[in-house]
Amino acid sequence: MMVFSLKGGVLLGFLAVGVVQAQLDTQIPIGTFQGNNSDACHDACTALASTLGEKVHHSTSLPSSLFSGYYTLMARSTIPLCIVHPTSSEDVSKAIKIISQHTCIFAIKSGGHAMFPGGSTAPGGIVLDLQLLNGLELSEDRGTLFLGTGNRWGAVYEFLMPWNLTVVGGRVGDVGVGGFLLGGGISFISRRYGWGCDNVRNYEIVLANGTITNISYASNPDLYFALRGGGKNFGIVTRFDLETHPNLPSWWGACKLGYCIDLDTFVAAISRLPIESENDHDAMGYGIFSSIPKANIYVVGTHTIHTGAINNAPSFTKLVSDLNTKSIHSTIRTQDPYGFTQELDAHNPVGVRVTYNTATFKVDQAFMKEVAKIYMQEVESIRGLEGFLGAYTTQTLARDEIAQFQKNGGNAFGIREEDGPLTILLVSFSWGSSKDDELVVRTAQNIIDRSVIIGKEMGVHHPFIYQNYAAKSQDVFAGYSVENQERLRRIQKEVDPEGVFVRLQPGYFSL
List per-residue pLDDT tens for the chain, 511 residues long.
444 444 433 344 444 434 333 333 333 333 333 445 489 999 999 999 999 999 999 865 676 677 788 999 989 888 899 999 999 999 999 999 999 999 999 999 999 999 998 899 999 999 999 999 999 999 999 999 999 999 999 999 999 999 999 999 999 999 999 999 999 999 999 999 999 999 999 999 999 999 999 999 999 999 999 999 999 999 999 999 999 999 988 888 866 554 567 888 888 988 988 888 888 999 998 888 888 777 777 888 788 889 987 877 888 877 777 776 655 556 778 888 888 888 888 878 888 999 999 999 999 999 999 999 999 999 999 999 999 999 999 999 999 999 999 999 999 999 999 999 999 999 999 999 999 999 999 999 999 999 999 999 999 999 999 999 999 999 999 999 999 999 999 999 999 999 999 999 999 999 9
Question: At the topology level of CATH, where does 2-13+257-483 sit?
Answer: Vanillyl-alcohol Oxidase; Chain A, domain 3 (3.40.462)
In angstroms, what CA-CA distances link 335 with 73, 104, 303, 340? 33, 48, 15, 8
Q: Whole-prediction pTM value?
A: 0.92
2-13+257-483 and 136-247 have identical folds: no
Instruction: Specify the pairing of strand 245-246 against strand 236-243.
Output: unpaired
Cβ–Cβ < 8 Å for 428, 10: no
Cβ–Cβ < 8 Å for 13, 349: yes
Question: At the topology level of CATH, where does 27-66+70-129 sit?
Answer: 3.30.43
Name which of 71, 65, 280, 247 is nearest 172 in CA terms.
71
Q: Is 405 helix (H, G, I), strand (E, B) or coil?
A: helix
- Does the structural domain 136-247 have CATH classification 3.30.465.10? yes
Cβ–Cβ < 8 Å for 407, 198: yes
Locate the domains of the chain by residue range.
2-13+257-483, 27-66+70-129, 136-247
